[in-house]
Amino acid sequence: MTFFEELQWRGLVKDVAGEDIADKLNNEKITFYWGTDPTADSLHLGHYSSLVTAKRLARAGHHPILLVGGSTGLIGDPRPTAEREIISHETLEKNLAGIKSQVDRIFEGKAEIVNNYDWTKDYTFLEFLRDIGKYINVNYMLSKEIISRRLDTGITFAEFSYTLLQGYDFLWLYRNKNCILQAEGADQWGNITTGLELIRKIEGKEAYGFTMPLVLDKYGNKFGKSAGNALWLDLNKTSSYELYQYLVNVDDSMVVDYLKIFTFLSKEQIEELEAKNKEHPELREAHKALAREIITDLHGAAEFVKAVNISSSLFSGDVKSLSLKDIEIGFKDVPTISISEGEKLIDVLVNNKIASSKREAREFLAAGSITLNGEKFTDENMPVTSQLAIEGKVIVLRRGKKKNYIVKFG
């Protein structure tokens, strides 16, 4: 396969502008850009799908420019149903710093990171209208899906103008960075073509663009914070364990597509995993490979190993080898109970409704159904003390195979 054919095989090409774009990507070394607005202090898995594609282009020898929208972020592109919430300059600066550090880490310091605020902050409104606005027809803008879908409910002039601002970004990068290609998610096609139109009309030259299909979950939802299912690239927002759990449990029908989109595994490796997934789906080898590739690329091999160890320990119930921080990550959504130092085990079970009565508690204990940090206890009068606790702080109490509680001393 040629490089462009590989992009197509991976399902990474939707809309294309420029008849010889395949030749450019296969046989030349060009400068391209991908951009995002700093609407949060972290990118999420939806962004990562585009960043991985940008990284593919970089590995093929093309020069990546990653644009962070310090100016466009102050406006916000038109959402399907309503105007975006305006964020303050202070919040925007915080978000910019977070995103820049993530991009720099993912690209190992090899991507050129730019901020469109640098070339728009001194551009006056009148100059922008004369230099840029005069070249784009209102009817042309109304035909853009990103704008037309809001005409019935109403769209502000600020949102309406967003496509001009992003189009100008492409023109500026074309002029100043010899950037001839923009690659974005499919929802940015209208903005890409505005940039192409400006370059054609003002510079008399041809530029290129392509979009990637938006990555959806099994319910057809985007991986975005507005959809309520964001998986953040910031470890403090989404731990490697949480990311691991999500990825090893993705629907079987999605895992091969995700391997193509999110990983650098070869066609042969992916086809081998696809065959294994069909033959022995219960082993989830394709899912584990997906988790390994994404987490390692984002956070390093040590974080992947850590996620696997936490998952294995939680599944077995033997959590003594885990740190307090690991416990907090793995049991984030588990009920927490507070007990007194030295409280009898049977009272812990009854007082916190782990057992409905002392009789039921004794039955659980006799059956070996109660474990503290993975160890079975049967003595109902045993005092539960902080000496049993991980780092002297918490005990994981398990009833049966699935019911867990975090015990703290109050």
What 3-state class would DSSP assign to 380? coil
Q: How far apart are CA 398 and CA 14, in angstroms?
A: 49
Region of 112 (left: φ > 0; alpha: ψ -120 to 50; beta: rest) is beta
Q: Give me 208's structure tokens.
A: 């290129």
Region of 272 (left: φ > 0; alpha: ψ -120 to 50; beta: rest) is alpha
* DSSP string computed for 322-374: S-HHHHHHHTTTS-EEEE-TTEEHHHHHHHTTSSSSHHHHHHHHHTT-EEETT
Neighbours of 407 (CB within 10 A): 23
- 148 class by beta-carbon count within 10 Å (0-12 exposed, 13-18 middle, 19+ buried): middle
User: Is residue 188 annotated as involved in ligand binding?
Assistant: no
Q: How far apart are CA 247 and CA 245, in angstroms?
A: 6
User: Is residue 225 annotated as involved in ligand binding?
Assistant: yes
User: Is residue 33 annotated as involved in ligand binding?
Assistant: yes
Q: Give me 6's structure tokens.
A: 């590989």
196-216 burial by CB neighbour count: b if 16+ within 10 A, else e?
A: bbbbeebeeeebbbbbbebbe
Q: Give the dihedral of Cα atoms 130, 132, 138, 142; nearest 10 deg.
A: -150
Q: Residues, the chain, total?
A: 410
Amino acid sitting at position 246: Y
At CB < 8 A and 24+ separation, what contacts does 307-311 make?
307/239, 307/240, 307/241, 307/243, 307/244, 308/244, 310/241, 311/241, 311/244, 311/245, 311/248
Q: With CA atoms as reference, report the closest residue to 113 among 64, 79, 75, 54.
A: 64
Contact 294, 48 (CB under 8 A): yes
- 257 class by beta-carbon count within 10 Å (0-12 exposed, 13-18 middle, 19+ buried): middle
User: Is residue 48 annotated as involved in ligand binding?
Assistant: no
Neighbours of 45 (CB within 10 A): 24
Binding positions for ATP are 225
Binding positions for L-tyrosine are 33, 162, 166
Binding positions are 33, 162, 166, 225
